[in-house]
Structure 1
Amino acid sequence: MELELILYLALMLMIAETFGWIFARIEQPVVLGQIIGGILLGMLFPPTAEVRDISMLGVLFLLFMVGLESSVDELKEAGKAGFLTAVVGVVIAFLIGFAVVYPFKGFKQALLYGALTTPTSVSLTVRVLMELDALKTVEGNTIITAAIVDDILGIIILSVVISILVQGGVNSVGIGLILLKVMAFLLASIYIAPPAIDWLLRKVVRLGFADSTITLSMAVLFAFAYLAEHMNLASILGAYLFGLALSETEFRKPIFEHTRIVAHSMFIPLFFVDVGMSIPLKSISNVGIFALVFTVGAIVSKIIGCGLGAFIAGLELRQSLRVGIGMVPRMGVELAMLAIAMNAGIVGEDAYVVIVLMIFLSTLVTPPLLKMSFSRRGENNVG
């Protein structure tokens, strides 16, 4: 390993910890601090290909952890409100994202931008709801269950869009084949992989190699990611689905605890710092009005889409508005999707800047909007 690479990694981890701590102290998401730290570091040391390759492991770990924190039972139990909120929110976000971008960038880029508007990161929303003592309300329960469905829909949509753009065609047969592969992968991960993984890990434990369950799980994680890429799907889909499959086994908790330490202390912070280092500052002046229009569209699309879904499910108008606002933030999953799209060569510098700016702004506006929406809580119901 070259000394330069070792220095890069040391600096990136120190930057991640320092700026993450600063942002935590001012009650802002740690991820934003890590990205800003990466921007400053990138002004002095531009990222190398080796650093990018290592940081991409953070993408796989991030999506694996998201899948591991979900479960098939939770997807089944999301309920009418959570399911409708997620589905309508994803559809509306995609359509508005597409409509906003199409006049500026054309059909293919509109597809990509539309896909990148679909996921939601509710960790910030959960923190605000806890501050307002509203986590266990109807709105809080709806947001949390909708986020589970939202994650998998967003990842699947991006996998399909990336496959379409990489293959260079959008004919109905090709799209049908891509959807068939995604559904086969999803069903196998839900019904076939869990018992097979559980049997394999139990066998390892019985043979006296209990410590090897973590190593074996990591090997299968990378195999799932490779399989997804081999099927011309996004590697993050494989990482997420393996996490989802593993969540159905008795090994979920120990593997989560061990993996979380490594992932959140090294690989995931490296990824977020690399996101900042990769932002071409010279491109910020090029995106101007388009970035603003797209960001407004992305924010409004979630408020309208998720709010409409919640309203259709039976929530009152003000409750539906709160749900829509709570589903606005974008963060980890979207950044992972952006990194995969960039690696696939279908995202340029300007698009990268626009998406990152949208993530920043959507994250910053959510807490004040959510607090304003809860300023009159007379009709809240505890769920």
Structure 2
Amino acid sequence: MTVEPELILYIAAMLATAEIFGWIFARINQPVVLGQIVGGILLGITMPPTEEVKDISMIGVLMLLFLAGLESSIDELKEAGKAGISVAGIGVLVAFLMGFGIAYPFKGFQQALLYGALTTPTSVSLTVRVLMELDKLKTVEGNTILTAAIVDDILGIIVLTIVISALGEGGVNAVGIAEILLMVLLFLVLMVYAVPGIMDYLLRKVVRIGFADSTVTLSMASLFAFAYLAEHMNLASILGAYLFGLALSETEFRKPIFEHTRVIAHSLFVPLFFVDVGMNIPLKNLSSVGLFALLFSVVAILSKIIGCGLGALVAGLNSKSALRIGVGMIPRMGVELAMLAIALKEGIVGPDAYVVIILMIFLSTLITPSLLKATFGGEQS
């Protein structure tokens, strides 16, 4: 059995594109991910996407969420505090309702649920970078954003999982939602209370018998097994990937596994995924979704300012801090695209959704640094 030459050529071209455009965007102080997507858009003009490449790039989806889980911590989740929980909880609720509300007239009830869910996650890596430049990361606002992001991650992924699972089953009903919530709860309990101890024991055994490098191999095998288990339980595979990463974050092997996996993921599978996203954006349909895409992006941005800002006010912070926190929670990045890829694979939405979500990511990423600097008004710590 041999690998198709065309597949080898595709992978080579996609990796080269990811590296070149990622470098270009990094040079202009924009996220590398956006460069990889833009490169994919251009590459897709001459090299149409294939199912084989898409299947390989889906590994990048799982590894992306696995790394996100590893970067989090169950202890940090428990210690998020009143402000972090309030900001994340109210922020997710308001974002979902506003996203659903703007999508409903254009897309109907079921797809509006998905679009609402796609507004819920937040990616604060850009915000952290700006706050570090302003020397404001270790402020009340900075600490609240960091803790809220941890809670936001898991809430957003759970909301997306519930919606995708419900729609994938053919419709939304109270019994179906209750069953999915029960499965999510069981999976969460398993990952929080059972898996960390089991994996710590197994990883220690692997090291003790002299196969230290195999800790990464065992982690990868377990990652795909739990992703499959999540699918088998009618949940999204990325919920399994994220929660398994969260479970491994509680072991003493968290740092070496993260570092080794990050190299594998970001040098191969994750770039393939983001370039594949760009290649699958239907440029010919841009005009037909243009108005909705723009309206959806504006509402998605406002939803985090309003929802997270309200959460900060409920937690007892003043209006100035609430505004700063709301702005800091605006950016979106990889989780939405990962969930969108799953929804597309399940046939829940069409490729037009890529255009909508990519525009939201671009606008939220471009607008956040200037808004964040404006809300701090040039203050220096």
Q: Same fold (TM over 0.5)?
A: yes
2:45 partner amino acid: M
1:242 partner amino acid: F
Residue by residue over 1:264-294, the C-alpha shift from the partner in whole angstroms, topping out at 9 and shown as x without a partner, is 1111111111110110101111112111111
Aligned partners of 1:283 and 1:349 also within 8 Å = no
Between the aligned partners of 2:332 and 2:272, the Cα distance in structure 1 is 19
Aligned partners of 2:281 and 2:352 also within 8 Å = no
Matched residue, 1:250: 252
Q: Percent identity?
A: 75
Match of 1:366, SS? helix
Matched residue, 1:284: 286
Between the aligned partners of 1:282 and 1:48, the Cα distance in structure 2 is 18
Deviation at 1:349, TM superposition (A): 2.0
Aligned partners of 1:20 and 1:31 also within 8 Å = yes
Unpaired segments ≥5 residues, structure 2: none
RMSD: 1.1
Deviation at 1:335, TM superposition (A): 1.2
Matched residue, 2:184: 182
Unpaired segments ≥5 residues, structure 1: none
Deviation at 1:296, TM superposition (A): 0.9
Deviation at 1:161, TM superposition (A): 0.4
Matched residue, 2:315: 313
2:113 partner amino acid: L
Between the aligned partners of 1:360 and 1:66, the Cα distance in structure 2 is 21
Deviation at 1:355, TM superposition (A): 1.3
Match of 2:87, SS? helix
Aligned partners of 2:110 and 2:171 also within 8 Å = no
Matched residue, 1:103: 105
Partner residue of 1:298 out of 297, 300, 323: 300
Partner residue of 1:356 out of 350, 355, 358: 358
Residue by residue over 1:14-39, the C-alpha shift from the partner in whole angstroms, topping out at 9 and shown as x without a partner, is 11111111111110111111100000
Aligned partners of 1:65 and 1:256 also within 8 Å = yes
Q: How does 1:78-97 map to 2 (within 5 A)?
A: 78-97=80-99
1:52 partner amino acid: K
Aligned partners of 1:16 and 1:273 also within 8 Å = yes
Between the aligned partners of 2:344 and 2:193, the Cα distance in structure 1 is 32
Residue by residue over 1:269-322, the C-alpha shift from the partner in whole angstroms, topping out at 9 and shown as x without a partner, is 111111101101011111121111111110100000001101111111011101
1:343 partner amino acid: K
Matched residue, 2:33: 31
Residue by residue over 1:217-275, the C-alpha shift from the partner in whole angstroms, topping out at 9 and shown as x without a partner, is 10000001000111111000000011000000111111111111111111111111111
Q: How does 1:119-268 map to 2 (within 5 A)?
A: 119-268=121-270
Deviation at 1:208, TM superposition (A): 2.2
Aligned partners of 1:16 and 1:269 also within 8 Å = yes
Match of 1:209, SS? coil
Aligned partners of 1:194 and 1:248 also within 8 Å = yes
1:129 partner amino acid: L
Partner residue of 1:68 out of 67, 70, 93: 70
Deviation at 1:376, TM superposition (A): 5.4
Deviation at 1:371, TM superposition (A): 1.0
Between the aligned partners of 1:214 and 1:79, the Cα distance in structure 2 is 33
1:168 partner amino acid: G
1:100 partner amino acid: I
Deviation at 1:150, TM superposition (A): 0.5
2:286 partner amino acid: I
Q: How does 1:41-56 map to 2 (within 5 A)?
A: 41-56=43-58
Between the aligned partners of 1:132 and 1:204, the Cα distance in structure 2 is 45
Q: How many residues align?
A: 379
TM-score between the two structures when normalised by the length of structure 2: 0.98
Deviation at 1:377, TM superposition (A): 3.8
Between the aligned partners of 2:377 and 2:100, the Cα distance in structure 1 is 33
Residue by residue over 1:153-186, the C-alpha shift from the partner in whole angstroms, topping out at 9 and shown as x without a partner, is 1111111001110111222111101000001000
Between the aligned partners of 2:331 and 2:254, the Cα distance in structure 1 is 27
Between the aligned partners of 1:178 and 1:83, the Cα distance in structure 2 is 23
Between the aligned partners of 1:377 and 1:314, the Cα distance in structure 2 is 22
Between the aligned partners of 1:104 and 1:10, the Cα distance in structure 2 is 39
Matched residue, 1:115: 117
Between the aligned partners of 1:161 and 1:41, the Cα distance in structure 2 is 32
Between the aligned partners of 1:262 and 1:349, the Cα distance in structure 2 is 28
Deviation at 1:95, TM superposition (A): 0.4
